[in-house]
Structure 1
Amino acid sequence: MPLRPLPMPDPGSPDLTSPLAFLRWLQRSQRRGQLLATWWGVLEMGCQAALPLALGLGIQAAVDGDTAGIWRAGGLALALAVLQSVGGVCLHRQAVWNWITAASQVRQLVARQASRLGAGLSRRIATGEIVAVSSGDVEKIGWYVELIARVRAAVLVWLGVSLVVLVDQPLLGVAVLLGVPVLAVSVWPLLAPFERRYSEQRALGGKATELAADTVAGLRVLRGIGGEELFLERYRAASQKVRGAAVRSARIWALMQAQQVLLPGLFVVGVTWYGAVLAVDGRIGVGELVAVYGATAFLAAPLRILGEAAHAWSVARVSAGRATRVLGLSRTADESGITESLAGPLGRPGRADLHDPVTGLTARAGRLTAVVCGDPDLAGELAARLGGHVPLAEGEQAEPSVKLGGVPLDAVPLAEARAAVLVHDKEPVLLSGTLAALFDVPASGRIAPADAMAAAQADDVLEALVDGSPECGGDAMQARVTERGRSLSGGQRQRLALARSLVADPPVLVMDEPTSAVDAHTESRIAAGLRKIRSERTTVVFATSPLLLDQADTVVLIHEGRVAASGSHRELLHTHQHYRAVVTREEDPIKETV
């Protein structure tokens, strides 16, 4: 069958009620692939099981001196071998297709969830766990989904072989019919210990990945303070814990593998011994004995598949639990009732006030509002909340939603909220690619990249990119931006990200310390350029720099989680002691008195 192009246009809406429900949903989403894999599995294993019959017929014909019978048996064996080869090739192709499709579908679901929750995702789930789900866990889930079709095929062929033997030799047929389930169930006592050890291994692996990610992200700082060896020892200790957990899991898995070899072997020996007794007594011929032995020996293949399925189920259930935990995150307990739209009530979001009922902050439409917070963490949380649809921390109660033009942002579709309000993070990420690709974002078209770069004072950034990309031929838009902009300085990365946000030209732009990494002279020009280019647009800037605050139409002071004062920068400097202390970095007289 032709392979489905990846990524999928829509990965679907998964059933997240339980890990098992999620796995079942993945199987249902590829019904055709599952049916085809089952069919090809039945063809391959059915031909493999029937080969001993052709061989037995040939041997019996040779014993009886039937030349024509020998040729017929040889032709049957050849036909079965060809069909088995075709079935094996097609089964492998379809099985890999099912595996990759399921893994890709889960990856898309996780990526969509990360995009939906944004930066707030890290408040709920550790970075290492997200990496583990997106890498190792999706492979385990894909493996289980693929294996289900082969299990169905193995069960169907086992029933067929049992029926044939049962008709010819009832006692042997009963042994075959009952022996396989008994041997398959014998592995169950080992599943619970294996699952516990595997869960521990995955949890420790996620922590080690998180530690590695934090170390890499802070490598420059660690080198500056000489802390590389300390973090290296921490990662080495975490890695050894993962290794120990993996060894403990491997011990149980090795025992399961040994059991899958020993018990089927003993079963075949027993059936073969009984068949030999019947042959000695003359109740079956030599050809029948060979056929019975071959059919019984074939049953080791379905047993191996059932054993593999037991292992796959154990690891997939753990992985599916982690995946459903990530995919089940939401802004509120129930978002199914989202029906309001910004388009109707607001008309033009850029001409609507943005209000936060928690702090009392109101950013007037079409004006530049600067927000001063003494606590940088509070500023970051408030900036994220102004964008709406912020995921909650574990056990955290939902707060009243920010409103745009009187409409709660949490009550509108996520895409509309994101289109209306853009939150420019304190540490924005630059994706690798050309500068043209970096600026290829949903935009109004009102602001050209050149104008945005000029407002962000990023001329030196263009020069640095062109110098570092000789293949661009002097065309700055074809210059390449390296991963996370690592070839640029902190200030250059910050200005390039600011230019990208200005190109998007959202109706409401929220920025958290957009000039913290630039010098005062450059910051002054950026402040003037920002005010000009965002004219008639609603802009909220979280800052404590007097150069930015002086350009704002309104400055709002947030103190102890509420609006404490508002006015112009110069007014607040003269009238509010706490504001003056935050902006000028002086000692707060109020705190000194307390």
Structure 2
Amino acid sequence: MHIRDLPYADPGEPDARSGPRFLLWLGRNQLGGQLRSLCWGLLHFLGIAAMPYTVGLAVQAVVDGSGTRLAVSGGVILLAGVAVTLGDTMLHRTAVTNWITAAARTQQLLARKTSVLGAALTRRVAAGEVVAVSTGDVEKIGWFVEALSRFAAAALTVLAVCVGLLVYQPALGVVVAVGIPVLALAVLPLLPRATRRADVQREKAGRATELAADTVAGLRVLRGIGGEDLFLDRYRRASQEVRTAAVRSARMWAVISATQVLLPGLLLVALVWYGVHLAGEGRITVGELVTVYSAVMLLNYPLRHFEEIAMAYSFSRPSAKRAARVLSLERVAEPAPARADDLSTDGARDGRPVVPSGDLQDPATGLLAQAGRLTAVVCGDPDAAGRLAERLGGHPACEEATGLPSVRLGGVPLDGLPLDTARTAVLVQDKDPVLLSGTLRSLLDVPASGAVRPRQALAAAQCGDVLDALVQGSVGDDPMDAHLTERGRSLSGGQRQRLALARSLVTDPEALVLDEPTSAVDSHTEARIADGLRALRSGRTTVVLTSSPLLLDRADRVVFLHDGQVTAVGEHRDLIVTEPRYRAVVTRETDHERATAATAVDSIIDTALGTAIGVDMGVDIDIEESA
């Protein structure tokens, strides 16, 4: 796999049972790249390892006064230098390729999983964690994949050097063969503590990131209530906690690095002392001593990769665990997609599923949104409204929806349709829609039927003042080319809400579900939006979950849900009189006000009854007296 071939046509099905299994799966899928990197790494490290032997030969040739051997040694040194240079260049190239391709594969897997789960993802995994996995964790996973082949090449080189020294000079080779494994394994007892400190640092950094994101998102509100200083103090404390944890983690890694420097130095001191003793006794030559010394000194370089792989694994293990957790999430099992001949809609071709049409029905709640009409739904619980909106969109990933019957459109279960077909049939706009950065034109450039033009949708959503504001803040005169900042933070909440509504109207789906689409606008604008929505969606199925009287009054049909079940259906003006619970939700009537109103009504009824009874008694008495 080359970088130019990215993205992957199919990133594969990952082994997400655990973090280590996911790392192993990534390694298996990059076996070719790992082998190439290993080969170039061996060339690089063995070239370095050959240097001491050739230098020893050159020194011994000078001692013996042999010009021929000195020339041969110089030629071998030149070849070793070329091997080191070429191996290092290609090792870096292939290792970075492994890093980028592993990161790209992981990001594609995460993007695919996010697309499949939809809005249900952030209810099962914190949004900050999803962002952390898609950014920092991907880099750490790629780092481990990159370092793996370098470590393997370094380990094989160290083994080869130790065996070579045992053969070349057994007396000193034994010292090296015993000392090198001690150097390689000396840091193992320190790794658990270093890993724990690194985990604490990442956890605190994640909390600080979430706090910063929440503060920025709510900055407009915080300034309105004067709470920015409070949140600033909270973030300052969180930042200091991150700094303290980072310093503690760095101290541990500094101890590991110092160990990797100190122990090889002690080995060199012992080796030189013992080698000088052997040379003095005539058991080894000066060239052999120089060769062994140089070999051990140069082994410090491949040994550093033992520390690198330990750090890479300790950092990538929790990152891979988080990635595996996200990748292991699954939607509720869906039945086989419905075939075109099973649908009541005409126009199927080649057995491909078609978009159904008709009434939108939820058997779980008893909700029926008639085709071609504007249906308003009132729920006493805002959370229940959000769950209902997701069910109407055919998202069975919600844990609350598990085991419930599927929502049907035109009698066709949405869970039985392919995901893209279900989303084409029913579009759900959350109460907190997201606006991506880019131009207004790109925001409205979404898959659509083409029946609704962007200008029509903007007009229906009452975005005139939004367009004026965008023109003032842009260099051109066309508001469609104006740039929107990330999540539309430069706009007010009402402006963002109206742009999101315009985007939903442009798509012109068979059924449109809107969850509180006007909660952030004033009443005058809300009334105009209600008229525009009714006119633009005429003949199309529209469901609005709201408790706004202005929207409810313009709906063709109002459905009231209590405790998750439909309890009343009718027009707004009728339900406000005949259904007390509906009136309490729509008018925001408190329990005290309801009790007071009930007491007043009872008092009026008692007074009326008492008067009527008194009159009747009076008549009877008169009759008796006259008799």
- TM-score, normalised to structure 2, is 0.87
> Aligned match of 2:541 in 538, 541, 546?
538
> Aligned match of 1:339 in 325, 336, 340?
336
Matched, 1:40 2:40: yes
> Aligned match of 2:404 in 400, 404, 410?
400
Whose radius of gyration is greater, 1 or 2? 2
Counterparts of 1:352-501 in structure 2, within 5 Å, are 352-389=358-395, 391-392=397-398, 398-405=402-409, 406-410=411-415, 412-471=417-476, 474-501=477-504
> Does the CA-based 8 Å contact 2:194-2:253 persist in structure 1?
yes
The residue aligned with 1:208 is: 208
The residue aligned with 2:96 is: 96
Q: Which amino acid aligns with 1:373?
A: C
> Does the CA-based 8 Å contact 1:133-1:323 persist in structure 2?
yes
The 3-state SS of whatever aligns with 1:4 is helix
Deviations 1:316-367 (A, max 9, x none): 11111122222222334xx4x6532475644454523333333222223333
Query: Residues of 1 paired with 2:266 and 2:340: CA distance?
Result: 72
**CA 1:401–1:98 in 2, change beyond 3 Å: closer, same or farther?**
farther
Deviation of the 1:153 alpha carbon: 0.5
The residue aligned with 1:523 is: 526
The residue aligned with 2:617 is: none
Matched, 1:140 2:146: no
Deviation of the 1:48 alpha carbon: 0.5
Deviations 1:156-212 (A, max 9, x none): 212222232222233444444443333222221112222222222222221121111
Matched, 1:121 2:121: yes
> Does the CA-based 8 Å contact 1:349-1:404 persist in structure 2?
no
> Does the CA-based 8 Å contact 2:429-2:513 persist in structure 1?
yes
> Does the CA-based 8 Å contact 2:2-2:97 persist in structure 1?
no
Deviations 1:431-490 (A, max 9, x none): 22222211111112222212222222223333332332223xx33332323333334333
Deviation of the 1:424 alpha carbon: 0.8
Q: Which amino acid aligns with 1:352?
A: G
The 3-state SS of whatever aligns with 1:499 is helix
Q: Which amino acid aligns with 2:149?
A: A
**CA 1:540–1:81 in 2, change beyond 3 Å: closer, same or farther?**
same
Deviation of the 1:148 alpha carbon: 0.5
Query: Residues of 1 paired with 2:443 and 2:242: CA distance?
Result: 39
Query: Residues of 2 paired with 1:182 and 1:361: CA distance?
Result: 71
Mean Cα displacement is larger for which, 543-552 or 20-29?
Answer: 543-552
The residue aligned with 1:568 is: 571
Counterparts of 1:179-190 in structure 2, within 5 Å, are 179-190=179-190
> Does the CA-based 8 Å contact 1:366-1:538 persist in structure 2?
yes
**CA 1:190–1:397 in 2, change beyond 3 Å: closer, same or farther?**
farther
Deviations 1:525-578 (A, max 9, x none): 322322232233221111122332233222100112221111222332332222
The 3-state SS of whatever aligns with 1:422 is strand
**CA 1:314–1:532 in 2, change beyond 3 Å: closer, same or farther?**
same
Deviation of the 1:92 alpha carbon: 1.6
Q: Which amino acid aligns with 2:130?
A: I
> Does the CA-based 8 Å contact 2:355-2:424 persist in structure 1?
no
Query: Residues of 1 paired with 2:331 and 2:593: CA distance?
Result: 37
The residue aligned with 2:607 is: none
The residue aligned with 1:112 is: 112
**CA 1:244–1:587 in 2, change beyond 3 Å: closer, same or farther?**
closer
The 3-state SS of whatever aligns with 1:556 is strand
Deviations 1:60-111 (A, max 9, x none): 1111111122122112111211221121122122222222322333233333
**CA 1:152–1:217 in 2, change beyond 3 Å: closer, same or farther?**
same
> Does the CA-based 8 Å contact 1:137-1:320 persist in structure 2?
yes
Matched, 1:557 2:560: yes
Query: Residues of 1 paired with 2:177 and 2:338: CA distance?
Result: 62
The 3-state SS of whatever aligns with 2:3 is coil
Mean Cα displacement is larger for which, 276-285 or 255-264?
Answer: 276-285
Mean Cα displacement is larger for which, 557-566 or 445-454?
Answer: 445-454
The residue aligned with 1:312 is: 312
**CA 1:401–1:67 in 2, change beyond 3 Å: closer, same or farther?**
farther
Query: Residues of 1 paired with 2:39 and 2:159: CA distance?
Result: 15
The 3-state SS of whatever aligns with 2:122 is helix
Query: Residues of 2 paired with 1:397 and 1:585: CA distance?
Result: 29
- TM-score, normalised to structure 1, is 0.92
**CA 1:588–1:464 in 2, change beyond 3 Å: closer, same or farther?**
same
The residue aligned with 2:610 is: none
> Does the CA-based 8 Å contact 1:557-1:566 persist in structure 2?
yes
The 3-state SS of whatever aligns with 1:510 is strand
Query: Residues of 2 paired with 1:40 and 1:591: CA distance?
Result: 81
Q: Which amino acid aligns with 1:398?
A: T
> Does the CA-based 8 Å contact 1:354-1:402 persist in structure 2?
no
The residue aligned with 2:235 is: 235
Deviation of the 1:23 alpha carbon: 0.6
**CA 1:407–1:207 in 2, change beyond 3 Å: closer, same or farther?**
farther
> Does the CA-based 8 Å contact 1:352-1:364 persist in structure 2?
yes
The 3-state SS of whatever aligns with 1:365 is coil
The two structures, once aligned, show a CA RMSD in angstroms of: 2.5
Q: Which amino acid aligns with 2:537?
A: R
**CA 1:241–1:413 in 2, change beyond 3 Å: closer, same or farther?**
farther
The 3-state SS of whatever aligns with 2:544 is strand
> Percent same amino acid at aligned positions?
59
**CA 1:350–1:523 in 2, change beyond 3 Å: closer, same or farther?**
farther
Query: Residues of 1 paired with 2:33 and 2:594: CA distance?
Result: 68
Query: Residues of 1 paired with 2:594 and 2:34: CA distance?
Result: 68
Query: Residues of 1 paired with 2:582 and 2:288: CA distance?
Result: 97
Runs (4 or more) in structure 1 with deviation over 6 Å come to none
Q: Which amino acid aligns with 2:445?
A: D
Q: Which amino acid aligns with 2:471?
A: V
The 3-state SS of whatever aligns with 2:561 is strand
> Aligned match of 1:502 in 498, 501, 505?
505
Q: Which amino acid aligns with 2:500?
A: A
Q: Which amino acid aligns with 2:363?
A: P
> Does the CA-based 8 Å contact 2:452-2:505 persist in structure 1?
yes
The 3-state SS of whatever aligns with 1:541 is strand
The 3-state SS of whatever aligns with 2:368 is strand
> Does the CA-based 8 Å contact 1:41-1:154 persist in structure 2?
yes
Query: Residues of 2 paired with 1:326 and 1:171: CA distance?
Result: 55
The unaligned stretches of length 5 or more in structure 1 are none
The residue aligned with 1:252 is: 252
> Does the CA-based 8 Å contact 1:432-1:485 persist in structure 2?
yes
Deviation of the 1:314 alpha carbon: 1.4
